[in-house]
Amino acid sequence: MTYVFDTSSLSRLKHFFPAVFKTIWDGLDALVQAGTLISTREVFNEITQRGDADPHVDQWLKDRKEIFTTPTADELRFVATIFQVPHFQALIGEKQRLAGTPVADPFVIACAKIHQGTVVTEERLKPNAAKIPNVCAHFGVRCINLEEFMQEQGWSF
């Protein structure tokens, strides 16, 4: 199973201090080495441009930059398919359009769809919203949060 991480779930890792939660970080490293934990270049761009940087998580991600894939032609075509649904065009907010800041959500979903993977995000399904879980549900892409991901790995502390 391939897990495609969204910015929100990678950011949430800051609550798991590496010196205290070594097992989590070892488990994440094992998944990275196996090629089953990936993300997209756009997520890396969001993380490096955010204002709430976390030194531990940011360094861990920079040291594993290979997980951030460049979208393939198939993924780009699927991003276009997402935006053919007028409601999902709201994935790109006005602030992001005006500021030209990175927008990772459609690329995360497309990556998971093409790799037959699972999106890991902290966003929640919200009726009539243009949120990752809503788009995933529409296109049949599995979507879980970080806690569910850890449960699937069989991690308990």
Per mean pLDDT, which of 44-53, 87-96, 112-121 is the most reliable?
112-121
Topology of domain 3-152, CATH = Rossmann fold (3.40.50)
**Higher-confidence residue: 56 or 4?**
4
pLDDT computed for residue 49 by the predictor: 86
Select from 138, 146, 141 the least CA-distant residue to 75. Answer: 141
Q: Which residues pair with 129 in a beta bridge?
A: none
pTM of the shown model: 0.95
Q: Is the pLDDT confidence value at 97 over 80? A: no
8-state DSSP, 120: E
Query: Domain limits of the chain?
Result: 3-152
Q: Is residue 122 within 8 Å of residue 15, measured between CB atoms?
A: no
Q: Is the pLDDT confidence value at 22 over 80? A: yes
Select from 149, 84, 69 the least CA-distant residue to 114. Answer: 69
User: What residue type is 96 in one-letter code?
Assistant: Q
Tokens of 68: 């951030």
| pLDDT averaged over every residue in the chain | 94
Tokens of 145: 């949060």
Select from 121, 125, 124, 126 the least CA-distant residue to 145. Answer: 121
Dump pLDDT digits (tens) for 27-79: 999 999 999 999 999 999 999 887 777 889 999 999 999 999 999 999 999 99
